[in-house]
Amino acid sequence: MKWKKFLIGSWSWKRPFYMLFLCYVLLTFYGCLMADKIIFQPPGTPYPINRAGFSSIGTGEKAVAIFHLKPGPKMPTILWSHGNAQNLESLKPALESFHIKGFGVISYDYPGYGESGGKPTEKGCYEAIEKTYRYLIENQGVSPEKIILVGQSVGSGPTCWLASQKKHHSVVLISPFLSAYQTVTHIPIFPGDRFPNYRHLKKVNSPLVVIHGEEDRVVPFSNGMKLFELSPSTNKKLISVPKAGHNDIFLKGDFDLGTLFLEMSGK
């Protein structure tokens, strides 16, 4: 019937390919448009910044909120990039526990997290960690060789990037991903990927520790294992945690991060 031909058109073997291509274009457009909103999940709880240890680098939209405690004599400083749905307030107890052991500790909030200005983006996270790194070196006089870079989950993104750009002592990755899109698909068929850790880590030769839960359903264990294999470091260690998921790795892991940091720093 003519109305069917008007609505559907003439049959062609090319049509399924056109439809697949159209679906691909639409999915790519949607992914690029919504990627940042899907990747970043800042907690809505604010915190007071006018307290001991808390301060801000810059002002307004470019402000980066930080929490910093200075190291003991000859001790390294841990630069920690936290996981998603976290901020400095929730990370503070863990940082204080490392400071008790003598470590200097510093962390920062991504744009749009906590008291940091702006909106969360991949570029914004890179800028935030670089500002924090420069603050340590230029304002606090910390030697790059005394900085241990730690990245947890989404924090592995800025950590791997900084490690590929700046001098440091060593890197610890906790539940890291190959890239943002590769936590969803093993085949990199979509453009506009975020945080290509697999690419950045190939440039990092410093000591490396990768910690990952074997039952992680958010970022599959294979991500951490492949990053470990891709690393060119000759001094690297993979800690796989049986029966641990994404958020209970410290509860089920038979390791102590403080002791690990001491071993890495030769203390």
Active site residues: 153, 216, 246
The token pair at 258 is: 């403080």
| Torsion, CA 156, CA 202, CA 172, CA 239, rounded to 10 | 110
| Segment (H or E) for 227 | helix 221-230
What number of helices (H) and strands (E) belong to the chain? 9, 8
* Phi, psi for 146 (deg, rounded to 5): -110, 15
Give buried/exposed letters for 165-191 (b at 16+ CB in 10 A, else e): eeebbbbbbbbbbbbbbbbeeeeeeee
Provide DSSP, 174-201: ES--S-SGGGT-SS--SS-----HHHHG
Tally of CB atoms within 10 A around 33: 10
Q: Are 127 and 108 in contact (CB under 8 A)?
A: no
60-to-22, 51, 77, 135 alpha-carbon distances in Å: 41, 19, 27, 18
Place of tokens 């929490």: 67
Burial of 135 (0-12, 13-18, 19+ CB in 10 A): buried
Contacts of 27 (CB under 8 A, 6+ apart): 190
